[in-house]
Amino acid sequence: MQIGLVGLGKMGGNMRDRLRNAGHTVIGYDTNPEKSDADSLADLVNQLEAPRTVWVMVPAGDPTQHVIDRLADLLKPYDTVVDGGNSRWTDDERHAEELSKRGIGFVDAGVSGGVWGLKNGYALMVGGEKEYVDRLQPIFEALKPEGPYGYVHAGKVGAGHFAKMVHNGIEYAMMQAYAEGWELLEAVDSVDNVREVFRSWQDGTVIRSWLLDLAVNALDEDEHLQELRGYAQDSGEGRWTVEAAIDNSVPLPAITASLFSRFASRQDDSPQMKMIAALRNQFGGHAVESAKKA
């Protein structure tokens, strides 16, 4: 299958490679010309055969809106736009409505996998009309992990990004729990090998997970996380999860507390946030701040 891919950063570039490795033809465009297969969005569209599919992997908000507005002018009826970034689900509804007026389909895809997705595959949570989702099945099959899991058509437009938002909210709370446990272990005199305690949990315990494996990786690189500043950003999806919980009267005490802990990390050098920062760097390649800058 042929597809256009806009945005060739840490995620988009690896997705292009994974799709090509599966035998698909990918025309990529990025503002960095060294990464691009096309000189412009117009050139990308011109290189694609109808009906065209263009997958957008750029930051949420204005950058995504700009690309979709431009594609609306360039694409034709029966073409399809996929937003695979971390857009808010309410934006999906607006984008679908705007594109449908021109006969262009829209699919939202929540994508999880970070910098490990090229090797392990990407978990995909997809929203949109069945007609457009079915058309993209070869692409989804190539991107997802091997095996029966890792892909879901979650529902109508917006469902994919809503599901990914909740996924990230849960991720916030899980990382916070590991970080709090790590800080407590580091604080007591009786435990003198915290890293190996974490490693011992990787097999046979109910709290084993990929995040735990990544925590051990981080501790192997910097045993007491002394090189990191206790500061962690939030992507926005944690905030949206809490807002959605309020709108739907659903109590989310653990996720809400984990979000507020990130806010607290910006006020002082939090030990727990060293672990959060380390985990975000391990799974997503997110930037960290050196302790020397504090």
Active-site annotation, residues:
164, 171
> Are residues 283 and 211 in contact, defined by beta-carbon separation less than 8 angstroms?
yes
Residue 249: count of CB within 10 angstroms of its CB:
6
- In 3D space, the residue among 44, 43, 17 whose CA is nearest the CA of residue 28 turns out to be 44
Distant-in-sequence, close-in-space partners of 159: CB < 8 Å, separation ≥ 6: 89, 108, 125, 126, 127
The SS3 call for residue 104 is coil
Question: Are 251 and 245 within 8 A, CB to CB?
Answer: yes
Query: Across the chain, where does the E strand assignment appear?
Result: 2-6, 25-29, 53-56, 80-83, 105-112, 123-127, 151-155
CB 197 within 8 A of CB 147: no
Q: For CA atoms 184, 188, 194, 198, give the dihedral sign.
A: negative
Three-state SS at 237: helix
Residue 222 φ/ψ, nearest 5 degrees: -155, 90
Q: Which conformational region is residue 71 in: left (phi greater than 0), alpha (psi within -120 to 50 degrees), or beta?
A: alpha
